Every structure is written in structure tokens, then in C-alpha cells.
Amino acid sequence: MAPAPRYLTKSRFILALECATKLFYTGKVEYADHKKDDPFLSALAEGGFQVGELAKLYFPGGYEIETLAHEQALEQTRELLQRESVILYEAAVRYRNLFLRADILIKDGATLELIEVKSKSFKGSSPEEMLNSNGTILRDWVSYLYDVAFQKHVLTLAFPDKRITSYLLLADKNARATVDGLNQRFLIYKQNGRSRVRVREGTTREMLGEPILIRIPVDRVVEMIYQDRDGTDRDLPVGDLPFAQWVDYLSEQYEQDRKIPTELGSKCKKCEFRCTVEEERNGLKSGFKECWREQAGLEDADFAEPLVIDLWKSNSRDSLLKQGIYFLRDIDSELLQPKSRNGGAGRADEKPGLSRNQRRRLQVEKARSGDPSPYFDTEGLKAEMSGWVYPLHFIDFETTQVAIPFNRGMAPYEGIAFQFSHHRIEADGRIAHVGQYLHAERGKFPSFEFLRALKKELEADQGTIFRYAAHENTYLNIIYNQLQQADAREVPDREELCGWITTVAHPTKRNSGAWVPGSRDMVDQLELVERYFYHPATGGSNSLKKVLPAVLGSSSFLQEKYARPIYGRSLEIPSLNFESWSWIRYDEAGTPIDPYRLLPPIFEEAEDDDLEHLVSDPKLADGAAAMIAYARMQFSEMGEPERQAIQQALLKYCELDTLAMVMLWEYWSRELMRS
Ligand code: SF4
């Protein structure tokens, strides 16, 4: 059998835009790849398939090129394009080694309209709103606009006699659904390993109400890209190339399977070709290590050392790497001096504790001295703790943004909250998982019920409430706004709910001035970590998923306590989802296994960590598994046993999220008692 042609497709082109070296590793089974898509899960992650299907209903009467086989798809497209006028979905177009499938291609005589459908929301009406004030492309829009630029380029080469215009079709944040139940019209299902969308029978264009997608003409920006006036760094070893030559270069290197060496940089931090220890043990190759060996001369033992890319929230990483500084230990503290009074990317406030710059220096100092011990600002933490009121409440929300609205009056990608977990600590130290909520009912907007349940659990006392990161505060603000817009007849307790939000949350920028935060405004445990605590084993990340294993690894108190089966429904620490559970179990090296790894993955198809790349907002990465699980329950066909299994998994995960906060609190309290 002839080998499959090595076409530079639009997704490979976008991969090369991130890092051209990745073209060499992609698609090779011998390399670990954490971005290997499960098309079904990615279809669920951000609603892309549903938006795609809705788009087709807005451009009706077209022909879908269904086959995935390149040659067959090209042939069918060629044939249909013989017609004077035609609309094609998933048209296949090739020019030499360049290949694309266009979401919507409309032929009308000598013109071709290319419509790229993206499940991304846009709160504007013109392409200029995708640009910075200096005329360069906003970072968020680069890959979308380059995607169109690539497609228009290939179409121009393939159809030189046609006039080609290009558009992005986006979820319109200014639009509101004018009908109820829109999102339940699109069900996702799997067929022969492919993700498909079934539109509910009898759905007509009228039933969709006013459009919630907006068509943005992007030719002007695409032209800027062609003329290299868009300000994007294309990161090539051969220097800057005009767009067309750059595409030729990429396609040639890819066709010949030649590695394109590019500079190491911050981009490497999230490189999907980095192996876990287990993957390496199983014989998979690490593209990440290959690059760092080849470019920086690192040897195997060096990868145990913290690298410059681990430097916390720093915009100096690229310049340090350019100077040949690869390890944290080699950074001269002078190089971390703030550029401005407030520390460049540092804190712009007078709050106590570490500034961002001091934290980075601490990280470097610990790496330089090889000191694995955690840093505590005991006085700072004590001062914070003195203001806390018992019982302490630890809460965590699971939320999502649904592409197509549930109800009339809602915008695409409106934030919704569907799950929370709640642990409580009494003044005498008793800990319990006391509450949870999960709204899994199909087709119902969950946020107001969610809020009622949360309020009921937290309003009985004045205890301090803890969240981890801004997410919970952001979502209470979102629900506040949704309530403000709701019909008071449909939500009779609207004022009461809004009033309660103002007691436990502070207004976000969008709600600035809407209320004065009260004394019970939630305490952000992440902020406490950033100001008063640093553990070298976190690798510079403050995500609770990194902080928890680090803390467990260095606390014999927690290890002894949670190695016993004290956690369960009627045990010492009552739980709502576990019967009898030991959170501490050890691996072969005698290290406590990350408690998240003790839980079975939510999906059989993928490890939870690998789902993170399916959501574009990095702030939501930790909740990706829950988002996808919720979408699966809403928008895919499943039997009751599967639904129950997903619900159970979600409840356990969310419970661990708040238990992790409790464990961190216990660790701090213990250390402070000893100090
Ligand atoms: S390690 Fe860095 S240079 Fe190598 S493929 Fe990954 S991102 Fe690109």
C-alpha cells in the first residue's frame, strides 16, 4: 500500500504556527502526544460541532462532502464545483502538497466565499476589533485568522480564476436566543468512530429564531498577514519569510519529514510532546527532551532540574533562554529585577506577603541551593488566620459555557454553574463533607437552582468561606447579572438571591460599583498560597492539583492521618460520596500517589489531564473534565447506567477538590502550630 500523502493541512499549519518543530513529532506513534484528539470529546468540549451544524442551517441547501478519504473527497468536491452555483460543506481542496477541508464554501459563478466556522465567541461587529491599537492581531485571534489566511491562500492557488472572499462565522456575544430549547436541537453521537450531530427532526430555519452567529469579513486582516503587517512572530530558523514562501517551506519540510529546529521558549512549557515518567518507562519518546537535548545540550539527568520555563508567571523566560540560561539555578537575581516600581508583571498593590517578583526570586534561590523545603511566611499566615470565623467553609464550583443557549434571552457561551462541593471545618477541628449539588437534568438552565442550593448551605452561619482562585467569585457575578436580566415573575426570589451574592462575593470589573463587598467576601486560598507559601515540588505552579501532591509529600502528619481509612460515609471524616477511603497510598518509590490519580478517570477515552487542551481558556483547564462530562450528559445519547457513572465520577472529583483545600488548611495549621 502506498504511504499516505504527507499533506500540510490547516490543522498542521496551525500547529506549525505554535511551533514549527512540532510538525516533525505530530502523528508519529513513537512520540508521546498529549494533544491527540478524541474527536468525540473535543466535539463536546466547546460545542464546536453543534455550532458547525447550526451554521449549516443558516446556509441551507448545501452538499456535505462526508468521506474522510482525501482523494474521494477531492473528486466529489471537483464534481460539485462544476455547477454554476453551489454550497458545499466540508469541501476538500488541494494544491500540490497543501490540503484543506473548508467548513462552508459557496460558489457563485466566478466568486468563492470561504466561511470558516469557529466555536469562539465575539463581542464585536468588525475585524478591526480583532486588532491591537497598533494594528497588530490580538493574540487571541492569531490562530483563527491564520487559519483563514492559509485556506484563502490554498484556494487562490487552486482556483486562480476565481475571486475569493473570506469570513469567520463566530458565536455572537451581542445576540440573544429568541427561542427556547435551542441547544437541545443538536445531539452529538458517535458513528464509526466519527463524531456527528443529529439535528432534531422537524427543525426548520424559523424554529432557530434570530441568528446567534455573526459573519465577519476578514479579507483585510488576511491581506495584512500576507503582507507581514500583522505583527505575529513566525519563529523560523531560516529568518522571516513572506507568507507564501513560509507555507511552501513548511509544506516541503513536512513532506520530506525533516525536523524544523526552532528556538526554545515559553511555548515549550505546555508542549504536548513531553512524556510522563510512565510513558517514558513504556518506551515512548519525548519530543520535548529531543528538542532540549539538541538545542540546549541537556543530558538525561538535567531534566530533573527546574528549567527556566518553570519560572512562575514571568515574561523574562524567552529572553533568559536567548541568553543561553536554561536552568532556574543559573538565573542571576539581578535579571529578575522589576522593570517598573510594581515589578513589571508583578503585584500592583500594597498587600502583605511576597510580591510576584520576590516569589520568583525565592523560586530561583530554592533551585540554586537545592533546598526542597517549603517556604512559609508564618507571621503573614497567622495574621490572615486571625480574621477567620468558624465554621470554615471550603467550596468549589464546576461550570461551563454552553455554545448554543438553553433559553430565550440567553447569549451564546453564557456561563452556567452546574455543580459545587462543600467541606466544613468546625472550631474543634472536626471536618466533614457536608454538601454538594449537581444539576444534570437535560435541557434546563441550572445556575439559579445551583445558587439556591449554595445559599441554603452557607447562610446558616457567618463562617469564613474559602475558594481557590477567582473562578467562584467570577461565577457568582455572572449569576448576579443573569438574575438582574431575568424576569422577576419567573424568578420570584431574584432580589433575595442577588442580595445574598453581595454578601459573599465582590464585584468583578464588569460589575464595578454594583455593591460594596461585605466582611464575608470569600477568601481566596490561591492568593494565600501566592503570598505566604511556596513549595519547590510544585514546579512553579500554584494549581491545587500541583500543590496538593507537594504538600502530601512533605507532611508526615497528613500521610499518617489519611493513610487510615477514616474518610467515608459514617467514618471520622464523613463523606457524601465515599464509603471508606484511604487517600494516601504509595508508589514503588515510596512517594504518596497523587490523590486525583487514585480516582478512575471520568472518561474511558482519555486521561483527565489530556482533556485540558480541549478547552481554549487556560483558566478553565482544571475543570475541563467536568465541563466535558456535563456536555456529554446534556448533548449526547446515553443510557441511565452511563449517566449514573458520570455523575458519580463528577461528585467524587469535585469532593476531592474541596478536600484538597481542607488538607492544605490542615497542613498550614499544623506547621504554624509547630513554629
Ligand atoms: S519542546 Fe519546544 S521547541 Fe520542541 S516541539 Fe515542543 S514547543 Fe517546540
Distance (angstroms) between ligand 1 centre and the Cα of 307 equals 14
Residue 487 pLDDT grade (very low, low, confident, very high; cuts 50, 70, 90): confident
Query: Tell me: the pLDDT tens digits for 363-412?
Result: 999 999 999 999 999 999 999 999 999 999 999 999 988 888 888 888 99
Q: Is 207 helix (H, G, I), strand (E, B) or coil?
A: helix
pLDDT exceeds 60 at position 318: yes
Q: Is the peptide bond before 391 cis (omega within 30 degrees of 0)?
A: yes
- pLDDT score of 617: 55
Residues 415, 402 contacting (CB under 8 angstroms): no
Over residues 479-484, mean pLDDT = 96
| Residue of 291, 298, 318, 322 to test ligand 1 pocket, by largest number of atoms within 8 Å of CB | 291
- pLDDT score of 345: 41
Question: Relative to the CA of 263, which ligand 1 atom is closest?
Answer: 3
* Residue 20 Cβ contacting ligand 1 at under 6 Å: no
Residues 404, 182 contacting (CB under 8 angstroms): yes
Q: Cell for 223? A: 491581506
Ligand 1, atom 1, residue with closest C-alpha: 288
* Residue 32 Cβ contacting ligand 1 at under 6 Å: no
Residues 628, 58 contacting (CB under 8 angstroms): no
Distance (angstroms) between ligand 1 centre and the Cα of 103 equals 29
Residue 611 pLDDT grade (very low, low, confident, very high; cuts 50, 70, 90): low
Over residues 173-190, mean pLDDT = 89
Query: Tell me: the pLDDT tens digits for 30-61?
Result: 999 988 766 666 666 667 788 999 999 999 99
pLDDT exceeds 70 at position 337: no
Q: Cell for 125? A: 461587529
* Residue 234 Cβ contacting ligand 1 at under 6 Å: no
Which of 29-43, 108-122, 209-223, 235-249 comes out lowest in average pLDDT?
Answer: 29-43
Strands 523-524 and 465-467: parallel
- pLDDT score of 607: 59
Query: Tell me: the pLDDT tens digits for 91-100?
Result: 999 999 999 9
DSSP symbol at 621: G
E strand spans, 60-140: 63-64, 85-95, 98-108, 111-122
| Residue of 268, 286, 310 to test ligand 1 pocket, by largest number of atoms within 8 Å of CB | 268
Query: Tell me: the pLDDT tens digits for 137-158?
Result: 999 999 999 999 999 999 999 9
Which of 333-347, 413-427, 526-540, 585-599 comes out lowest in average pLDDT?
Answer: 333-347
Residue 333 pLDDT grade (very low, low, confident, very high; cuts 50, 70, 90): confident
pLDDT exceeds 60 at position 216: yes
Cα distances (Å, whole numbers) of residue 628 to 127, 407, 611, 620, 646: 30, 20, 8, 11, 10
Task: Order across the sheet with 414-425: list the strands.
Answer: 431-438, 414-425, 392-402, 465-467, 523-524
Which of 363-372, 435-444, 637-646 comes out lowest in average pLDDT?
Answer: 637-646
Global pTM reads: 0.89
Element (H, E) at 548: helix 544-554
Which of 23-32, 210-219, 360-369, 614-623 comes out lowest in average pLDDT?
Answer: 614-623
Over residues 496-501, mean pLDDT = 98
State what percent of residues in the chain have pLDDT above 90: 73
- The residues near 238 (Cβ < 8 Å, ≥ 6 apart) are 249
pLDDT exceeds 70 at position 498: yes
E strand spans, 73-223: 85-95, 98-108, 111-122, 163-172, 186-191, 194-199, 213-217
CB-count exposure of residue 240 (10 Å: 0-12, 13-18, 19+): exposed
Cα distances (Å, whole numbers) of residue 526 to 220, 449, 530, 665, 669: 43, 27, 6, 12, 16
Ligand 1, atom 2, residue with closest C-alpha: 268
Residue 338 pLDDT grade (very low, low, confident, very high; cuts 50, 70, 90): low
CB-count exposure of residue 540 (10 Å: 0-12, 13-18, 19+): buried
Dihedral over Cα of 467, 473, 478, 483: its sign: positive
Distance (angstroms) between ligand 1 centre and the Cα of 184 equals 41
Distance (angstroms) between ligand 1 centre and the Cα of 334 equals 28
Q: Is 503 left (phi over 0), alpha (psi -120 to 50) or beta?
A: alpha
- pLDDT score of 346: 42
CA distance 646 to 172: 31
Distance (angstroms) between ligand 1 centre and the Cα of 154 equals 27
Ligand 1, atom 7, residue with closest C-alpha: 268
Distance (angstroms) between ligand 1 centre and the Cα of 323 equals 18
* Residue 668 Cβ contacting ligand 1 at under 6 Å: no
pLDDT exceeds 80 at position 654: yes
* Residue 17 Cβ contacting ligand 1 at under 6 Å: no
pLDDT exceeds 50 at position 340: no
Ligand 1, atom 4, residue with closest C-alpha: 291
CA distance 519 to 580: 37
CA distance 126 to 148: 16
